[in-house]
Amino acid sequence: MFFSKSKYCGLWQCPKIAWLKKYKPEEYVIDDGTKSRMDNGNIVGDLAMQLFGDYNEVTTYTNNKIDISKMIKKTKQYMLDGRDNICEASFNYNGLYCAVDILRKQDNGYAIYEVKSSTHEDNYVYIVDVAYQKYVLEHCGVKVTGTYLVNINSDYIFDGTLKLNELFKITNVWKFVVDEQKEVEEKIKMAEKLLEDKNEPNIDISCSCNSPYKCGFWKYCTKHLPKPSVFDLYRLNFSKKIEYYDRGIISFDDLEKTGWFLGDIRNRQIEYALHDKGVYVDKDNIKKFLDTLSYPLYFLDFETQQPIIPLYKGTRPYQQIPFQYSLHYIETKGGELKHKEFLGISGEDPRRSLAEALCNDIPAGACVLAYNKSFECGRIGELAETFPDLQKHLYSIEFSIKDLLDPFKYGYYYKKEIGGSFSIKSVLPAMFPDDPSLNYHNLEGVHNGGEAMSIYPKIKDMSPEEQKIARHNLLKYCELDTYAMVKIWQELERLVNE
């Protein structure tokens, strides 16, 4: 048997994960959230190696594949040599494998430092992870004298020189690990039994599927569900959905038959999915919303990057840094639709030039529409705090923002194609199913905020030609976001006036 610590930690979430990873690995779906956690983990892991000064890393590849046996040999040699900090220190006890992020020599033994890219040290699966490592190391004859978690310190503010001892916070988790270690042997025995059996374990979906993260086998384990099901309902707590599922109330038919009141919006979602009811329009409330808008009318959307390791002076880990905006605007009723935009220079701090451009492009107090305005308001508020000389103007923009999400969020407009999400990527194709100019799939290179976030920092390392293409793609993507808002607003106007 070969058993890794990720398989072991998977057991803690749900034993079926380990079985599926062995027998049906092709069913595992790596979504954007998982991919970004993996990327973040690699960035933070590489940086944390320097946390205690000089280090020796054992990671070895042979023919582009990780070579565990060489890593184990190197680890043994480095320990014999008395090296202080061994990174990715690798051990195997009877097929139980683990690589310790940092194995640090102490007076009477070694301490395990487990590095996490998260800012929260209180996730119990981290304890489970370290307890497994301690078990493997001790069975390989290593005296473990300390166990620590290394997390990102969310309060750290970058002053221009990266200070690893401030960026990382270290938590002693010895007491919890010792308690948890009592479970390791039992869990491994259970895993062995489970993995020997070729029959899929009879484990149904539960709250574990979403804790601590949405399981990569969710699609596989829910293929028996009707479409739509209780899991497609708008903004219902996951544990509540599982509660309905456990009671056998799964399809929208089941939900409708119960006659329960799930709130206006969810009840409408069920009703419109089951019966051919066309478009729901609450003209009075849409009109009330539209009457709060005035000219000149601006449509604003930001793109941001979120570096884990702060890049710019005065910023924190994971801070959202706006690097781009698109701005459509109409000066007077019936006036021409115009467009302005800003895109920072990759590799430079974009905030000052973006804040100045924003103040030039939007007059103080003008009416601005954003889609899910808390995001744009949050970024403008942060810019205002960073640049006191622009504060008054920026705050006036922030306070004048209205939310185009409101008519959807409050249930003034609905059609079944929207489903259970009111994001612009759900509302737009539902409102304009046949307009290719509004289809994000028809864009080149950048189709969503995640792609924009990932491409922007890479531009600085591209050739001039590639830079031109990447910048063009970013501008076109962001422009479509605000153009989509204009189209949605126009459609709402049309509906109340027809």
Q: Which residues bind ligand SF4 (CB under 6 A)?
A: 13-14, 16-17, 20, 203, 205, 208-209, 215, 217-218, 221
Can you tell me the distance from the alpha carbon of 125 to that of 188, in angstroms, rounded to the nearest whole number? 16
**C-alpha span between 41 and 37 (Å, rounded):** 6
What lies within 8 Å, CB to CB, of 161 at 6+ separation is none
Q: Least distance (Å) from ligand SF4 to the CB of residue 216?
A: 7
Q: Which is nearer to ligand SF4, 10 or 307 (CB)?
A: 10
Please identify, using beta-carbon distances, which residue of 175 and 247 lies nearer to ligand SF4.
Answer: 247
**How far apart, in whole angstroms, are the C-alpha atoms of residue 311 and residue 381?**
20
The distance of closest approach from Cβ of residue 241 to ligand SF4 in the complex, given in angstroms and rounded to an integer, is 13
| Closest CA relative to residue 48, chosen from 137, 148, 115 | 115
Report the residue number, 32 or 331, with the smaller CB distance to ligand SF4.
Answer: 32
Pairing status of strand 168-172 against strand 279-281: unpaired
Q: Nearer Cβ to ligand SF4, position 217 or 272?
A: 217
CB of residue 396 to ligand SF4, shortest distance in Å: 48
**In sequence order, what DSSP letters do the residues of 13-58 get, joined into one string?**
H-HHHHHHHHH-GGG----HHHHHHHHHHHHHHHHHTTTTSS-EE-
Which candidate, 300, 469, 456, places its Cα nearest to that of 373?
300
Q: CB 188 → ligand SF4: shortest distance, Å? A: 19
Angle of CA points 391, 166, 36, to nearest 5°: 75
| Rounded Cα gap, residues 250 and 227, in angstroms | 10
In this complex, which beta carbon is closest to ligand SF4, that of residue 16 or of residue 187? 16
Supply the minimum distance, in Å, between the C-beta of residue 240 and ligand SF4.
17
Q: Select 203 or 462, whichever has its Cβ closest to ligand SF4.
A: 203
Residue closer to ligand SF4 (CB basis): 113 or 217: 217
Nearer to ligand SF4, 21 or 416 (CB): 21
Minimum distance of ligand SF4 from residue 222's CB (angstroms):
7
Using the minimum distance from each CB to ligand SF4, give the nearer residue, 217 or 342: 217
In the complex, the smallest distance separating the C-beta of residue 201 from ligand SF4, rounded to whole angstroms, is 9
Minimum distance of ligand SF4 from residue 238's CB (angstroms): 11
The DSSP secondary structure of 294-329, one letter per residue, reads -SSEEEEEEEEE--SS--STT--TT--EEEEEEEEE
State the Cα–Cα distance between residues 324 and 447, nearest whole angstrom.
15
CA 191, chain centre distance (Å): 30
Of 219 and 247, the one with the shorter C-beta distance to ligand SF4 is 219
- Min dist CB 31 to ligand SF4, Å, is 12
238 vs 399, which CB is nearer to ligand SF4? 238
* Residue 149: Cβ within 10 Å count: 27
CB atoms within 10 A of CB 485: 23
Phi, psi of 172 (to 5 degrees): -80, 120
Smallest gap from Cβ 211 to ligand SF4, in A, equals 9
- Least distance between ligand SF4 and beta carbon 230 (Å): 15
Residue 464: asked if its preceding bond is cis (omega within 30°), the reply is no
Burial class (CB in 10 A: 0-12, 13-18, 19+), 8: buried
Cβ-based neighbour number of residue 24 at 10 Å: 12
Cross-strand partners of 62: 65
